[in-house]
Every structure is written in C-alpha cells, then in structure tokens.
Amino acid sequence: MKRRGFSLVELIVAVGITAVLAAVLLVIVSNTLEWWSRSAGALKLDNEANRILERMATDLQSAYARRDGIEWLRVPTDSSDVWVLRLFGNLANTSGATDDPATLREVSYRYADRALYRFESTASQALNSNYGWRDWSDVSDAEYLLGNQVEDLSVSFSAADDRAVVNPSSLDWPSRARLELTLINEDGVRRLAAIAAGASNESIQQVRTETTRRFVRWVEIIGRPL
C-alpha cells in the first residue's frame, strides 16, 4: 500500500496553528508571571508595613507625659528635611541591653531619603539623664534601620472629642494617634532613580501611582501624664 505524505499546504497550516498556539501560550505565561510578581511585591509591602506600624503602635501606646512641663512627646515638624518623632514610654526592653527592666525609656524615630530608623535608650540611660533627650550623634544609623522603602510617613494626634492635638503635653494629652505610611516597591525605586538621572521620561506621579501602597492605622494612647 502506497503512503501519502503531508502536502505543502498542510504543513503550512500546521506550522501556522502551532505558531498561534505558541503566541497564545506566551501571552498567558507572561501575564501569569507579571501577576505573580505584582502579588509577591504587594505581599512584601504588606509585611513591611505591618512590621513598621506594629512597632510604632507599640511605642505610641505606651507614651507618657511629665506634669512638670518637660517635653516627653516631640512630634515631627514640616519645616525640617528630616522627620523626627521622639517619646518616652513604659516599654519592654528591645534595646539589646541585658538585665534591663521594662520601664520608662526614650524612643526616637528618624525618617529621611526613604530610610526609617528607630533608636531606643535603656532604662538606666533614661534614668541617669533625668529623662532628658539623648544625643544620637554617636549612633550608627545602619544598626537601627527599620525600613528603607518608605516613600512618605506622617503621624497626627487627636483628643477623645476628635479635636486635633498639635503640641501634646500633660495639659493637652492625646487619646489616639493616626499613622499614615506609604511604601514603594523596588521597581518604583529603580524607575524614580532613572527619572532623576535623566534616563527616563516617565511621569513621577505615574510611577508613584503604580508602585506605592498607602497604609493607615489608628493607635490608642494608653499612657497618661505622670
């Protein structure tokens, strides 16, 4: 029995169908990888935000004020290039010092150029300084890095009647704080750097819209004036 092979037309049709199927498969795989990458990036930002906000919430919940007028809660100001939040709180030891009791200690946050740092004194240091602000000029920032993808950070305070508390003190002590944190993913950092270097014509606003996520948390301040 004589066998008949494929005709040229049949081969062309088969190759065409294969090419179409390969193109469709490539699109599906590309979209899946892009979706997975975005999901992984979003999850990473979620975890990072939760870690930062949990730490700040714990500190603020324990904030105290002194009735003698000495400042124990210093809020950030818009006039400075460096965002600084300082407080004294009744905190458990996370400073790394051994045999350090859970009692009043200073905590300081500093934010600039997408990097957020958290410093903490020991209870003994706070006591020996008569609970005055510590000079952090001799502290290495790298040891206290809390996050390096912070695009924006703000904190505001309010009283029980929702009145804004601008300068917290023992006479005007807030009952809660509102934390607003914006994080940017690694792709956003890279694209903004390219814009700054003149290597990209993208819109800064568009990049931030596509690569940042905003997180808000309300914190009840449990501490009271002493």
Q: Which helix (H) or strand (E) holds 216?
A: strand 212-220
> What gap in Å lies between CA 199 and CA 191, rounded to an integer?
9
| Whole-structure pTM value | 0.78
> What gap in Å lies between CA 65 and CA 58, rounded to an integer?
16
- Token pair recorded at residue 67: 């009735």
pLDDT, position 204: 93
The CA-atom distances, in angstroms, between 145 and each of 112, 114, 131 are 11, 11, 24
pLDDT, position 178: 96
pLDDT, position 143: 66
Could you tell me if residue 105 is left (phi over 0), alpha (psi between -120 and 50 degrees) or otherwise beta?
beta
Length of the chain: 226
Q: Are the C-beta atoms of 72 and 88 separated by less than 8 Å?
A: yes
pLDDT per residue of the chain (226 residues) written in tens, 0 to 9: 555 666 777 778 888 888 888 888 888 877 776 666 666 777 889 999 999 999 999 999 999 988 887 889 999 876 667 899 999 998 776 656 666 666 888 999 999 889 999 988 888 888 888 888 887 665 566 668 899 999 999 999 999 999 999 989 888 999 999 999 999 998 899 999 999 999 999 999 999 998 999 999 999 998 888 7
Residues contacting residue 115 through CB under 8 Å, at least 6 positions apart? 141, 145, 147, 148, 150
pLDDT, position 29: 79
